[in-house]
Amino acid sequence: MPVQPPTPNPSPREPLSLLALNGRAAEQFVQRLGWPPYRAQQILRWLYQGRVREVAQMTDLSKAERALLNDRTTVGRSRHCRVLQAEDGTRKFLIGLEDGLTVEAVLIPDGSRLTLCLSTQVGCTLDCTFCLTGTMGLKRNLKAHEIVDQVLTVQDRLEPNTTLSSLVLMGMGEPLANLDAVADAIARLTNHRWGVGISAHRITLSTAGLASRLNEVAGLGVNLAISLNASNQEQRAHLMPAVNRLHPLRTLLEACRAYPLPPRRRLTFEYVLLGGVNDQEPDAKRLVKLLAGIRCKVNLIPFNPFPGSPYQRPADRTVLRFQTILKQAGVDTFIRKSKGRDVLGACGQLGHLPDLITPDPIPLALTPAEAGC
Ligand code: SAH
């Protein structure tokens, strides 16, 4: 066998990304450098609380320590970001990843509240037929630090004296199909000592229904939302084929019933209302029966269209009738306002449209609020 010649001038090792280290890995890293353990927390605080982009900004490390870190590491924050501003104040952040892919996060103001919707995958593992992200396929899972970086990127651009009220993992992707990274990201987001310091009860994870993993969510301390979207098995098979094949409606509801809900918390069920498909009176009545005995509330989401989608948004009175039936049966039911539709920033509208620049049926008021961040 021919022997491979040695590579001339092997390229220097890629610098280590500090943001890619979780708490444990940061401790091991400082230990390898022979530094005292508390240096790990110092560095992490700079990353998640100081939101620094350069090692040079870590001013409580000595000059020599900064020089050493600078030599071996980078901070690892994303470099590219575009912001699209919708008329209702919703902002969609398009964040460039290391490998050239883009991830989307949506900041939704509502009165004095500010909710940030985060993505967990580029594209999605699943194929829900009413969701634009679902039509993209899965490009790849996000790493934990790429999930956290969405929060840091948005926090950098908040007006002074404003803070995020809540985080929802409801953007691109299925969080439970990337649970290790999601759990790691949540640990960093909720750590009050050195992390971002957002309480777990202000975070909601939404799943299309990977029933076998629900118990693992319980351990994370966050709220759980389940996208039910159908009132019977046949509908769900049609609307959410992949997840329903793995976990049919009955199995999913059994898992919800068995979910170890902490006191005073309840599950949220999301239900996308698709005109003439799952928005009729019998659907509402079946839904009431399905949810009997589960401590929960329901969020109704009138369908947000995207170019080429086969579904219609129901009329407002149909949405209200659906809500009334549930409420009269004693189920707390809310109608989700569709925010940011003009920048394709509403539920189910995240993803790439190859023909975004060609005329399409949705008026796109794409207003780049900032070009490159
Ligand atoms: N995969 C996760 C999170 C992403 S989808 C999940 O399924 O829960 C977030 C929410 O948006 C889900 O409740 C989903 O049912 C809803 N959704 C998807 N496409 C939509 C659309 N076009 N209009 C309205 N809601 C949509």
Nearest CA to 199 among 232, 231, 222?
222
Q: How many CA atoms lie within 13 A of 175 on its CB side?
A: 31
Q: Determine phi and psi for 114, rounding to 5 degrees.
A: -130, 115
Residue 66 near residue 56 (C-beta atoms within 8 A): yes
Low-confidence ranges of the chain (pLDDT < 50): 1-3, 5-11, 354-373
Residue 70 near residue 53 (C-beta atoms within 8 A): no
Q: What is the pTM of this model?
A: 0.91
Whose C-alpha lies nearest to ligand 1, atom 11?
Answer: 347
Whose C-alpha lies nearest to ligand 1, atom 1?
Answer: 174
- pLDDT value for 38: 96
Nearest CA to 214 among 7, 223, 328?
223
* Ligand 1 probe mutation, 127, 235, 272, 304, most atoms within 8 A of CB: 272
Residue 322 near residue 300 (C-beta atoms within 8 A): yes
Instruction: Convert the pLDDT of each residue in 158-177 to its tens digit.
Output: 999 999 999 999 999 999 99
Give the integer Cα–Cα distance in Å for 96 and 153: 11
- pLDDT value for 270: 98
- pLDDT value for 343: 72
Whose C-alpha lies nearest to ligand 1, atom 3?
Answer: 170
Query: Which CATH architecture is the domain 16-74 placed in?
Result: Orthogonal Bundle (1.10)
Which tokens sit at 340?
A: 């940011």
Instruction: Convert the pLDDT of each residue in 83-142 to its tens digit.
Output: 999 999 999 999 999 999 999 999 999 999 999 999 999 999 999 999 999 988 999 999
Give the integer Cα–Cα distance in Å for 333 and 211: 23
Query: Which CATH architecture is the domain 81-371 placed in?
Result: Alpha-Beta Barrel (3.20)
Which residues have CB under 6 Å of ligand 1? 130-131, 170, 174, 206-208, 227, 229, 270, 272, 301, 303-304, 347-348
Nearest CA to 114 among 53, 164, 40?
164
Q: How far is the CA of 240 from the centre of ligand 1 (A)?
A: 11
Residues designated catalytic? 104, 347
Enumerate the domain spans of the chain. Answer: 16-74, 81-371
